[in-house]
C-alpha cells in the first residue's frame, strides 16, 4: 500500500512528463513548424519535417495518458480536504482532456491536406496550404477552449491546497494564479480581433511557474502522510 508521500511523488513524476510532452508538442513542433503569415512556407515545413510533426501528435496523446492517472492521485490526496470540490476539479480536467483530445483532429488534418491522395489533385498547392493552416488555426482555438476547463481545475486545486496542510500554501497561490492566467489567456484570445493575443508570453510564464512549482514539490518532497 502506497503512502500519500509516495503517491504524491508518482503524481509529480507524471506531471513532469505532462509538462515536458506539452512543451515539446507546442514549442518544438507547432510553433517551430509555423511561419506566420506564410501558408506555403508552413506547409513546406510540415512536409519536410513530417516525422517531427507526427511525434508532436504522439507527444500530445502521451500527455493525456500520463495526465489522467496523475489527476486521479490528486483526487485521492485531496478528497479528505473537500470531496465535493476535488470531484468538481476532476470533472473540469476530464472535460479539458476530452476537448483537447478531440481537437487533435485539427492537427491531423494538415497531414491529410498535404498528402499524396489522388483527390487532392483537384486543389491548387496554395489552396491546400491555406486549408492546412486553417486547420492549425482551429487547433489553436480549440486548445485554448480546452484550457478554460483546466484553468478552473487549477483554481479549484489551488484553493484546496490553501485549505490543506499537505504542501506549502504558497504553492496553492501559485497554482491558482496559473489557472487564472489560463482563463485570462483564452478569453483575451477569443475577445481579440483575429484572435491576436500579444499577452500570451506573460500569461504562459505565470502558468508555467505555478505548474512547475507544484510538480517539482510533489516529485521531490511529496506531501504529509496525514493532516494535523
The pLDDT assigned to 2 comes to: 76
Matching residue, cell 478531440: 102
pLDDT, tens digit (0-9, with 9 covering 90-100), for 18-38: 999 999 999 999 999 999 989
How many residues make up the chain in this entry? 228
The per-residue pLDDT of the chain, averaged, comes to 94
pLDDT of 196 strictly over 90: no
Q: Which three cell numbers stand for residue 139?
A: 487547433
How much of the chain exceeds pLDDT 70, in percent?
98
Mean pLDDT value of segment 54-82: 96
Per-residue pLDDT averaged across 203-215, rounded?
97
**Would you state the cell numbers that stand for residue 158, as one nine-digit string?**
489551488
Q: What's the number of CA atoms in the CB half-sphere (13 Å) around residue 110?
A: 32
pLDDT over 80 (residue 226): no
Q: What tens digit of pLDDT does each residue of 130-186 get?
A: 999 999 999 999 999 999 999 999 999 999 999 998 999 999 999 999 999 999 999
What pLDDT score does 44 carry? Answer: 96
The model's pLDDT over 99-109, given as tens digits with 9 standing for 90+, comes to: 999 999 999 99
Average pLDDT for 194-200: 89
Residue 228 binned pLDDT confidence (cut-offs 50, 70, 90): very low
Burial class (CB in 10 A: 0-12, 13-18, 19+), 228: exposed
What pTM, to 2 d.p., does this model score?
0.93
Classify each residue of 150-183 as buried b or exposed e, where b means 16 or more C-beta atoms within 10 Å of its C-beta.
Answer: bbbbbbbbbbbbeebebbeeebbbbbbbbbbbbb
The residue among 1 and 27 whose pLDDT is bigger is 27
Amino acid at each position: 500500500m502506497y503512502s500519500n508521500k509516495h503517491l504524491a511523488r508518482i503524481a509529480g513524476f507524471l506531471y513532469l512528463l505532462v509538462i515536458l510532452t506539452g512543451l515539446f508538442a507546442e514549442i518544438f513542433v507547432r510553433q517551430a513548424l509555423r511561419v506566420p503569415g506564410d501558408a506555403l512556407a508552413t506547409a513546406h515545413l510540415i512536409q519536410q519535417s513530417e516525422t517531427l510533426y507526427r511525434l508532436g501528435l504522439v507527444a500530445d496523446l502521451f500527455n493525456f495518458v500520463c495526465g489522467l492517472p496523475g489527476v486521479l492521485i490528486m483526487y485521492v490526496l485531496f478528497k479528505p480536504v473537500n470531496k465535493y470540490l476535488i470531484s468538481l476539479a476532476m470533472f473540469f480536467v476530464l472535460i479539458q482532456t476530452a476537448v483537447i483530445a478531440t481537437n487533435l483532429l485539427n492537427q491531423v488534418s494538415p497531414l491529410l491536406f498535404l498528402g499524396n491522395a489522388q483527390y487532392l489533385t483537384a486543389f491548387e498547392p496554395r489552396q491546400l496550404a491555406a486549408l492546412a493552416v486553417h486547420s492549425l488555426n482551429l487547433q489553436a482555438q480549440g486548445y485554448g477552449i480546452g484550457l478554460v476547463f483546466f484553468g478552473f481545475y487549477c483554481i479549484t486545486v489551488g484553493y484546496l491546497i490553501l485549505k490543506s496542510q499537505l504542501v506549502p500554501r504558497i504553492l496553492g497561490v501559485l497554482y491558482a494564479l496559473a489557472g487564472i492566467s489560463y482563463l485570462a489567456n483564452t478569453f483575451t484570445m477569443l475577445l481579440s480581433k483575429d484572435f491576436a493575443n500579444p499577452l500570451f508570453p506573460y500569461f504562459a510564464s505565470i502558468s508555467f511557474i505555478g505548474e512547475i512549482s507544484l510538480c517539482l514539490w510533489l516529485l521531490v518532497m511529496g506531501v504529509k502522510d496525514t493532516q494535523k
